[in-house]
Structure 1
Amino acid sequence: MTADEQPTGKLTFDECWDLLEGDTLGRLGLVVDGHPEIFPVNYVVHRRSIVFRTSGVTKLWNAKSERPAALEIDGYDPHTEEAWSVVVRGDTEIIEDQADKDAVDSLGLEPWQPGEKAHYIRLSARAMTGRRFKVNSPDVWNTRTADRRRASFE
């Protein structure tokens, strides 16, 4: 059976949130000047929403404009040889309440990139999709060393 023939498992809403809570890095998609842009962000899940911090340039402008955004994460489990992907689509807003900021900080939201990241942005999910699928077994001799599937046999 090829990857095209293998069934894709849709993830439930709760499975998507579990995967989001278990990760810390995603790709944030925004429309900037009429075209899509992708930004890596580290995040936490707070009250079933995605929260990240920013210095106040593009991502903050987008949040102030209350424009739609999307966050995507994915992964691979070498033990089950399954890959997964979760996409969250929704609206962004700036978190002003200090109690919410403190709660988010208590979850370990610490920016990876140096510099002040004083603005907290919340992505509230309006739609969420997730899927899990079995990947093709890697060819031990021909698969690139950086391919995550190699962990299945190393």
Structure 2
Amino acid sequence: MEHIEDAVTELTSEQCWALLEGEEFGRLAFRLVTEVHIVPLNYSVARRMLLFPTDSGNKLLAAAMHSEVAFEIDWYDDESAWSVVARGTLRRLGEDEQHRLGEKSPESWLPTLKFDVVELSPSVVTGRRFVLRRPITS
């Protein structure tokens, strides 16, 4: 029987950023006063910053408050899985900075207009890869 150490591998910073750059969908968790929020969203990566086009709402309020946040992406199949978490603070980009989305602007899954861009400046990015041992069902 394999040990848990064999089933879990820490990802390097470079591996984490490669996975972040290869995806477009994740979950943002943040606190507003006494409530914890978690929202799914589309994103892009520019110069090791995570950019989220958004409309008005709680993400903009969290950015105005410079809230500490966590952003997570993950993937799995029958044999393996990985997860990457970026922690840092949010800020709303000024109109003169929104060009940073450029051609990398993620396609929204919802048909809503998004006039603002929020940036997550990660202070820590970590990740793990997992070897899965799922029971065989018949």
TM value normalised by structure 1: 0.81
Say whether the 8 Å CA contact 1:20–1:73 is kept in structure 2: yes
**2-structure distance, mates of 1:69, 1:29:** 6
**2-structure distance, mates of 1:4, 1:138:** 16
Query: Matches of residues 68-107 of structure 1 in structure 2 within 5 Å?
Result: 68-77=68-77, 81-98=79-96, 100-107=97-104
Answer yes or no: is 1:36 the counterpart of 2:33. no
Question: Which residue number in structure 2 is paired with residue 149 of structure 1?
Answer: none
Query: Matches of residues 48-67 of structure 1 in structure 2 within 5 Å?
Result: 48-67=48-67
Q: Give the percent of matched residue pairs that are identical in Structure 1 and Structure 2.
A: 37
Give deviations 1:9-37, integer Å, cap 9, x for gaps. 00000100000011110000010231211
Q: Which of 103, 112, 115 lines up with 1:115 in the alignment?
A: 112
Give, in angstroms, the shift of residue 140 of structure 1. Answer: 4.5
- Bigger Rg over Cα: 1
Give deviations 1:50-108, integer Å, cap 9, x for gaps. 10011111000100111111100111255xx221000000010111143x422313113
* Unaligned residue ranges in structure 1 (runs of 5+): 142-154
* Unaligned residue ranges in structure 2 (runs of 5+): none
Count residues in correspondence. 138
Higher strand share: 2
What root-mean-square deviation, in Å, do the aligned CA atoms of Structure 1 and Structure 2 show?
Answer: 1.9
Say whether the 8 Å CA contact 2:25–2:41 is kept in structure 1: yes
